[in-house]
Amino acid sequence: MNVVHALDALLRSDDEEYDRLDLFLEADELIGQLQLADVPALLALWRVRKLSWQQRFTQAGSNIDGAVLRALLAGLLQVKETPHGVLELMSRLPPVADASPLSDALLAYAEQAWHADPARHRQIQISCWSCGLSGRLLKRLGLSSWKEAGL
């Protein structure tokens, strides 16, 4: 069984089994084994799996390879109704943003999410701060500080 299929089966485990057997650790290990070539299959699964599957992936993904993470985020941003995961996975990026198209796309996504969902302002702030986009988001929002934003 390849890594993507094994990971899919693991993330679809029933709640009791997943928790009782600490499958979180095994999921983290499998996520760390993902390669760039696995991203299209992973994105296809992301679109059809339940929110609980996506949440398990984002919670267990601490060992994800940087190139795989960037490719996954770029793919998720292409989904019309962006599913769960973009803000959660942003925190796995290095703490210094670059001038890449991905950083620009994540910044645009964060700005759109900021305006669309005030209840997620804190999560957006934390996600942007953790990957170095905080200052750039403040500038795009026309704010001088997070305190000014009410956070």
**Predicted pLDDT of residue 67:** 95
Q: Which two tokens stand for residue 71?
A: 């490719």
**Predicted pLDDT of residue 82:** 63
Per-residue pLDDT averaged across 30-58, rounded?
95
Are 22 and 49 in contact by the 8 Å Cβ rule? The answer is no
**pLDDT cut 70: percent of the chain above it:** 98
Per-residue pLDDT averaged across 110-125, rounded?
94
More confident residue, 19 or 137: 137
More confident residue, 97 or 72: 72
Spatial CA neighbour of 83 closest among 45, 112, 54: 54
Are 19 and 56 in contact by the 8 Å Cβ rule? The answer is no
CA–chain centroid gap for 22, Å, is 22
Pairwise CA distance, residues 135 & 128, whole Å: 8
**Predicted pLDDT of residue 1:** 63
Q: How many CA atoms lie within 13 A of 69 on its CB side?
A: 23
Query: Which of the four pLDDT bands, split at 50, 70 and 90, describes residue 83?
Result: low
The DSSP symbol for 99 reads S
How many residues belong to the chain?
Answer: 151
Query: Which of the four pLDDT bands, split at 50, 70 and 90, describes residue 87?
Result: very high
Q: Is 20 helix (H, G, I), strand (E, B) or coil?
A: helix
pTM: 0.90
**Predicted pLDDT of residue 79:** 83
Query: Which of the four pLDDT bands, split at 50, 70 and 90, describes residue 96?
Result: confident
